[in-house]
């Protein structure tokens, strides 16, 4: 009966409500029951809100991962064979520099003659030789050419001249000019 009084489900003129108003012991019990009920409601609301927040955060994270890790926007092949040193060449700098767009790219580099298949480390450096992007890629032989494939997101870079550095395992780095537009 005290629980019904605490929930205020009885009419005001009910004998139990009238008794609680006059009995200090019963009044303390009703206050304790109401406090417990308020705490239970607060905990329930907090749990529901926490659940909503966690579900929302999970959905947001899933959306962000899907958005950020979308497939590369474009597949581009960059031919680096023209940078193959030839006998007697002191400066083998071709007149044209490879140009690639400022996007999330799946790049396929056709490596110069003499380089082998395997795993390569790739660095993209700005004019001050600060590393702006790093990646690894696998090089395989296709049609008597060595193709090095990797993914690079260049969308946040500023357009300009860059240096591409490539090396296989413990070999020395090879440097190539690159322009990003």
Q: What is the pLDDT of residues 95-135, one digit of tens each?
A: 678 888 888 888 888 888 888 888 999 999 998 889 999 99
Q: Say if residue 2's pLDDT is above 90.
A: no
* Average pLDDT, rounded, for the chain: 84
Which residues is 104 bridged to in the sheet?
153
Looking at residue 124, its pLDDT comes to 92
- 74-85+93-180: CATH class: mainly beta
Which residues is 57 bridged to in the sheet?
none
**Domain segments of the chain as ranges:** 2-68, 74-85+93-180
Cα dihedral sign, 153-157-159-164: negative
Which residues is 5 bridged to in the sheet?
none
Q: What is the pLDDT of residues 49-103, one digit of tens each?
A: 999 999 999 888 877 766 655 555 678 888 888 877 665 555 555 567 888 888 8
- As to burial, measured by CB atoms within 10 angstroms (0-12 exposed, 13-18 middle, 19+ buried), residue 164 is buried
Contact 147, 139 (CB under 8 A): yes
């Amino acid at each position: 009966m005290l629980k019904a009084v605490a929930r205020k489900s009885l009419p005001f003129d009910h004998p139990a409500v009238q008794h609680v108003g006059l009995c200090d012991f019963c009044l303390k019990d009703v206050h304790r029951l109401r406090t417990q009920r308020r705490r239970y409601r607060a905990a329930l609301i907090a749990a529901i809100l926490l659940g909503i927040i966690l579900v929302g955060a999970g959905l947001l994270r899933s959306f962000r991962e899907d958005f950020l890790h979308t497939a590369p926007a474009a597949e581009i092949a960059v031919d680096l064979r023209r940078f193959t040193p030839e006998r007697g060449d002191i400066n083998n700098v071709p007149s044209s520099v490879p140009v690639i767009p400022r996007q999330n790219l799946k790049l396929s580099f056709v490596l110069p003659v003499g380089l082998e298949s395997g795993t390569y480390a790739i660095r993209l450096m700005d004019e001050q030789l600060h590393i702006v992007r790093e990646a690894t890629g696998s090089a395989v032989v296709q049609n008597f050419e060595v193709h090095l494939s990797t993914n690079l997101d260049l969308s946040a870079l500023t357009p300009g001249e860059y240096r591409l550095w490539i090396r296989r395992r413990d070999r020395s780095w090879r440097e190539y000019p690159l322009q990003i537009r």
